[in-house]
Amino acid sequence: MAKKEAVKDAAPVKTTEEMILNFPRGKYSAIPMAAIWVKELKKREECRHMTPAELLDLAVREVLGGKVDWKDLKKAAAAAGEEAPKKAE
């Protein structure tokens, strides 16, 4: 009987709580970033079918996962003609 090769698993899925606690810029700066990102996600066609809870979860995960940064938020605000968000320190 041949040994089965170990299947390489993808990176383990982190919980939202774990991501919040390990966020390098501080958990309180992530909240306004996620709120702004939810507004941008609402405008996108691929997110129109999502519920508000799903949008918030997606935004929080993208902000805490490092996929979205202040630069992205400023670009989104500029494209929408809104005032650019100020970076919380």
Alpha helices in 3-69 (DSSP H): 16-21, 27-43, 52-64
**How many angstroms from the chain centroid is the CA of residue 3?**
40
Which pLDDT belongs to residue 11? 62
3-state secondary structure of 33: helix
Work out the mean pLDDT of the chain and round it to a whole number.
80
Residues 15-28 have pLDDT tens digits of 878 887 778 877 78
Return the amino acid letter for 59.
A
Residue 20: its pLDDT value, please? 79
pLDDT of residue 85: 64
Question: How is residue 19 annotated by DSSP?
Answer: H
Report which secondary-structure segment, H or E, holds 79.
helix 70-80
* Structure tokens that stand for 48 in this block: 């129109």
Does the pTM surpass 0.95? The reply is: no
Q: Which residue has the higher pLDDT, 1 or 18?
A: 18
* CA separation for the pair 54, 32 (Å, rounded): 17
- Check whether 61 has a pLDDT greater than 60: yes
pLDDT recorded at residue 21: 79
